[in-house]
Amino acid sequence: MTSRVGVIGGGQLARMMIPPAVALGVELRVLAEAENSSAALAATAVGDYRDAETVLAFAADVDVVTFDHEHVPQAVLAALVAAGIPVHPGPAALAVAQDKTLMRERLRAIGAPVPDFARIADAAELGAFLAAHGSVAVVKTPRGGYDGKGVRVVRDASDVDDWFASAGEDGLLVEEFVPFRRELAQLVARRPSGQLAAWPLVETVQRDGVCAEVFAPAPRAGRLVAEAGALAERIATELDVTGVLAVELFETDDGRLLVNELAMRPHNTGHWTIDGAVTSQFEQHLRAVLDLPLGDPSPLAPVSVMVNVLGGPEGELMPDRYPAAMADHPEAKLHSYGKESRPGRKVGHVTVVGDELDDVVARARAAAGFFQG
Amino acid sequence: MTSRVGVIGGGQLARMMIPPAVALGVELRVLAEAENSSAALAATAVGDYRDAETVLAFAADVDVVTFDHEHVPQAVLAALVAAGIPVHPGPAALAVAQDKTLMRERLRAIGAPVPDFARIADAAELGAFLAAHGSVAVVKTPRGGYDGKGVRVVRDASDVDDWFASAGEDGLLVEEFVPFRRELAQLVARRPSGQLAAWPLVETVQRDGVCAEVFAPAPRAGRLVAEAGALAERIATELDVTGVLAVELFETDDGRLLVNELAMRPHNTGHWTIDGAVTSQFEQHLRAVLDLPLGDPSPLAPVSVMVNVLGGPEGELMPDRYPAAMADHPEAKLHSYGKESRPGRKVGHVTVVGDELDDVVARARAAAGFFQG
C-alpha cells in the first residue's frame, strides 16, 4: 500500500521532496500556508500551521507528519502526538531546534563543542558577558531567526536594548564571537529505529548571514571529516532526531570545530545531494521519516558545487533566463523554486558536478550568474 | 513566465517527466486516460486522446503538446496544429513512428540500414517473401504493437492468416529474420531549432519481446558507438523528430547495425539516465519540446544498469517490498510507477551505477529481484 507523508509547510524544501516521492511511489501531502506555494503541486490543504484544528484535519489521513520548517508550535505537535499520529522529528527534538538557548544548553550537556554562551535578561548581564569576552559578542533572539535575521554582533551593552524590550521571560542568547577560518556543515539522516547515514562534510560560504555557496566535499578538511561525522551522529542520537539533521559548524582559527546551528529537516547546505549524491537529502528524509532503510549517501562525482540564486530581476522567474543560461552551461543543474525574484530572496539554486574544484566552482558561479544580473 | 507542457497520456513516461518539471519550474499538465493514472499527480484532465474536442480543450492553455505514447490519431494531431498549438514531435514525424511499414520505407529512403522488408496483402505474398529469405521471416502488424505484441516469427505462408483477416488496406509488414548478436539502443534528443544531443549507446536485453535490462554504455561496442550516434542523429534530422528519439538496433552476427524500431518519446532504454546521466531523458525531452538548449547527456559513472520490474506478486505495489530491498541494496535507485503488480506488467525499474559492469549488473538484478519474488 502507498505510504502517505504529510509535510507541514509549502516552501522549497517541501517542493524538493516531490521528485523523490514520485520516484519511490510515496504520496506526499503538503499543508501550505497559501495558494501558489512553492510546493503547490503536492498541496492537499492550505491553512495556518499554528492552528491545531487545521493541522489535525490535515494529518488525519497521513502515515507520518514531517516539516518544511521548524516553526510549528509545541502545542500543535503535542496535539498530533495525542492523536496517535507519528511525528518526525518528534516534538522533544524539534524543541531544541526551535529555541537557540535550549539548543546551546542541550549541546553543552551532551559534551558537543559550542561557543561560550549565556542566557541574558538585560543590558547589565550583556555588559558582564562582554567584559568577560573581549568586548565583542553575538546576541541572538532564541526563536524565529533565520538567514541572518535575529543575529547581531554587539560591542556595547546597550546594542540590543530594542530586543530586550520585546524579549519574553526567556531573555536573549549571547555567545562569544568566534574567530573562524570558515564554515562547514555536516548532514546526517537518522531513522526512528536508530540507523544513521552521513553525507560528506561540506564547506559553506555565507554572505550577509545567508548560505551562498556549498563545496562538497569540504576541501582540505583532513581529520575534521571524521570529527564532524561523529559529532553529527552523536547529536542526532542524543537528541533523538529523526529525518535529516544539519549541523552547521565553525572551523575556528585554531582548528577546532564548534557547533553554530542545528536544523532538523533538509537544509540548504544539502541541496547539492540532489545532483551530486546517490541518495539526495530529500529522498533520505522521506526514507527516514517512514522508518525505511536509508540510502547510500556517497557522492557521484569528486566535486559538487551548489550556488544559490538570490534575488535577481524583480518579478522575474528563473526560467525567463533559461535560454541564455542553458546555452552557456549545458552541464549545470538548474533548480527553480517557482518564486518570483525580489532582492535577497532565495528563488532557486544551481549545482555543477565534476572533477576539479576550481573548475566546478567557476562553472557553477557562471551559470548562477545568469539569474542574478 | 512559467512554461506549460501538455502531455497526452498518463503512463509512467508522463509520470517520470514530473521530477524534472518540478526542478526546472516547468508546469506539466497531463491528459490521462483514467483517474489514478501513473501520472495522476500532474493530471489536469481525464479523457479520450482519440477525441479531438477533448484534446483541444486540454491543450487550450499549454505552450506545447507532447506525448506519453504514440497512439494519438493523425486527425487529432492535425486539429492541434490547425489550432496553432505547437506539437512536438510533429504529426509528420509521429506518422513514421505510428506505422511500422511507413517507418521501414522512410528509413530505407534516407539510406538508414534496415532489414529487408515488404508490405504484404495475403498469404501468397508472404509465401514469396519466405521463399526468398530462407523460409523464415518476421511479420508485424503496422500499427498498435508494443512490447512484443503484434510481432510473430513465421515459417509458413499460413502463419498469420488470422492477422490478414483483420488487416486493413495497408496489409502487414514482413521482414527478414535477422540473426543478431545482441540488441542496442541509441537515444538522442533534438530541438525544433535543430540542436542534437546523444546519450551513450546502450545494450538492451529483451525477454519475450519486452525490455528487461539495459547496460550503459554498451560494453565492447567499439566503432559501433560512433556509427550508432551518427545514425540516430541522421534519422532525427531527416525525419524532423523533436524531443527524444529512441533508435532500437540489432547488432547482426556479421557486425552490422540494423534499425529495428523507432520511438519518438522517452523510452525504456533511457530510464538509466535518471540516475546515471547529467541530464535525464525526461529533462531533455522537456527542454527539447520547449526549444530550450539541451543539457549535457554525459554519464555520471562508468557503468549504469537498469533492470525492469515486471510482474511481481499480484495486487502488490513495489513499496510493499521496500524494507527488505532497501536494507540489502542502499545503493539501488528504486522507481515505482504507482501501479499494482500483475503478471508481465511493468510496474517500475531499478538502476544501479558503479565502476565495474559485472558488479553493477549483479547488484541491480539482486535489488530488482526483491520485487519479483
What are the strands of the beta sheet with B117-120, ordered from one edge? B117-120, B172-176, B137-140, B151-154
Q: Taking residues A236-257, report their average pLDDT.
A: 97
Q: How far is A14 from chain B (nearest CA, A)?
A: 11
- Least confident interval from B39-43, B133-137, B194-198, B340-344: B340-344
Interface check B318 vs A, CB under 8 A: yes
Q: Taking residues A30-36, report their average pLDDT.
A: 96
Residues A310 and A208: their CA atoms lie apart, in Å, by 12
Q: What are the residues whose beta carbons fall under 8 Å from the beta carbon of B131, sequence distance 6 or more?
A: none
Pick from B295, B323, B331: which is nearest to A292 by CB? B323
Asked whether the predicted pLDDT for residue A144 surpasses 80, the reply is no
- For residue B146, what pLDDT is reported? 64
**Sequence-ordered alpha helix ranges (H) in A244-293:** 273-276, 281-289
Interface check A369 vs B, CB under 8 A: no
B159-193: pLDDT as tens digits: 999 999 888 888 999 999 999 999 999 999 999 99
Pick from A2, A294, A334: which is nearest to B317 by CB? A2
Beta-carbon separation of B24 and A322 below 8 A: yes
Pick from A25, A292, A330: which is nearest to B295 by CB? A330
The dihedral sign for the CA sequence A267, A269, A273, A275? positive
Beta-carbon separation of B348 and A42 below 8 A: no
Interface check B79 vs A, CB under 8 A: no
**pLDDT-derived band at B145, boundaries 50, 70, 90:** low
Pick from A25, A327, A331: which is nearest to B336 by CB? A25
- Indicate which of A4, A22, A328, A335 best probes the interface with B, i.e. most B CBs within 10 Å of its own CB: A22
B16-31: pLDDT as tens digits: 999 999 999 999 999 9
Nearest CA in chain B to A327: B293
Residues B73 and B90: their CA atoms lie apart, in Å, by 12
Nearest CA in chain A to B42: A41
Q: Which CATH architecture best describes the domain B116-176?
A: 2-Layer Sandwich (3.30)
Q: Give chain B positions within 8 Å (CB) of A326.
A: 287, 292-295
Annotated binding site of A for ATP: 100, 140, 175-178, 183, 260-261
Q: Give chain A positions within 8 Å (CB) of B354.
A: none
Asked whether the predicted pLDDT for residue A1 surpasses 80, the reply is no
- The pLDDT > 90 percentage for chain B reads 91
- Backbone Cα Rg of chain B: 20
Q: How far is A314 from chain B (nearest CA, A)?
A: 13
**Sequence-ordered alpha helix ranges (H) in B133-280:** 161-166, 224-238, 273-276
Nearest to A116 by CA among A179, A185, A184, A174: A174
DSSP state of A126: H
Annotated binding site of B for ATP: 100, 140, 175-178, 183, 260-261
Q: Give chain B positions within 8 Å (CB) of A318.
A: 25
Annotated binding site of B: 100, 140, 175-178, 183, 260-261
Task: Say if residue A89 is preceded by a cis peptide, omega within 30 of 0.
Answer: yes
**Sequence-ordered alpha helix ranges (H) in chain A:** 12-24, 52-59, 74-82, 91-98, 100-109, 123-132, 161-166, 224-238, 273-276, 281-289, 322-328, 357-369
Average pLDDT along chain A: 96
Q: Give chain A positions within 8 Å (CB) of B331.
A: 278, 295-296, 298
CATH topology identical between A4-87 and A116-176 = no
Pick from A18, A23, A334: which is nearest to B335 by CB? A23
Residues A369 and B241: their CA atoms lie apart, in Å, by 33
Q: Give chain B positions within 8 Å (CB) of A64.
A: none
Torsion angles phi and psi, residue B200, rounded to 5:
-60, 145
Beta-carbon separation of B335 and A279 below 8 A: no
Q: Would you tell me which residues 275-294 of chain A have a C-beta closer than 8 angstroms to some C-beta of chain B?
A: 278-279, 287, 292-294
Domain boundaries, chain B: 4-87, 116-176, 180-369
Beta-carbon separation of A333 and B278 below 8 A: yes
Residues B55 and A252: their CA atoms lie apart, in Å, by 62
Asked whether the predicted pLDDT for residue A146 surpasses 70, the reply is no
A92: left (phi over 0), alpha (psi -120 to 50) or beta: alpha
Interface check A335 vs B, CB under 8 A: yes
Count of A-B CB contacts under 8 Å:
122
- Indicate which of B278, B326, B339, B350 best probes the interface with A, i.e. most A CBs within 10 Å of its own CB: B278
Give the cell for residue A205: 560560504
Interface check B173 vs A, CB under 8 A: no
Asked whether the predicted pLDDT for residue B144 surpasses 80, the reply is no
A323-335: pLDDT as tens digits: 999 999 999 999 9
B219 CB neighbour count, 10 Å cutoff: 12
- For residue B208, what pLDDT is reported? 84
Beta-carbon separation of A24 and B334 below 8 A: yes
Burial of A164 (0-12, 13-18, 19+ CB in 10 A): middle
Q: Would you tell me which residues 296-315 of chain B have a C-beta closer than 8 angstroms to some C-beta of chain A?
A: 296, 298, 300-301
Annotated binding site of A: 100, 140, 175-178, 183, 260-261
Interface check B22 vs A, CB under 8 A: yes
Residues A245 and A267: their CA atoms lie apart, in Å, by 8
Q: How far is A198 from chain B (nearest CA, A)?
A: 13
Angle between helices B100-109 and B91-98 (to 10 degrees): 110
CATH 3.20.170.30 holds for B180-369: no
Fold for domain A4-87?
A: Rossmann fold (3.40.50)
Q: Taking residues A172-177, report their average pLDDT.
A: 97
Beta-carbon separation of A22 and B24 below 8 A: no
Pick from B2, B19, B278: which is nearest to A22 by CB? B19
Q: Would you tell me which residues 216-235 of chain A have a C-beta closer than 8 angstroms to some C-beta of chain B?
A: none
Interface check B167 vs A, CB under 8 A: no
- The pLDDT > 70 percentage for chain A reads 98
- For residue A20, what pLDDT is reported? 98
A71-130: pLDDT as tens digits: 999 999 999 999 999 999 999 999 999 999 999 999 999 999 999 999 999 999 999 999
Please calculate the CA angle B12-B18-B23 and round it to the nearest 5 degrees.
Answer: 150
Nearest CA in chain B to A277: B275
Distances (CA, A) of B139 to A34, A137, B165, B258: 58, 82, 14, 17
Pick from A22, A296, A318: which is nearest to B25 by CB? A318
Beta-carbon separation of A25 and B274 below 8 A: no
Average pLDDT along chain B: 96
Residues A200 and B235: their CA atoms lie apart, in Å, by 44
Beta-carbon separation of B326 and A287 below 8 A: yes
Beta-carbon separation of A18 and B22 below 8 A: yes
A189-215: pLDDT as tens digits: 999 999 999 999 999 999 888 899 999
Residues A143 and A140: their CA atoms lie apart, in Å, by 8
Give the cell for residue B322: 521496500
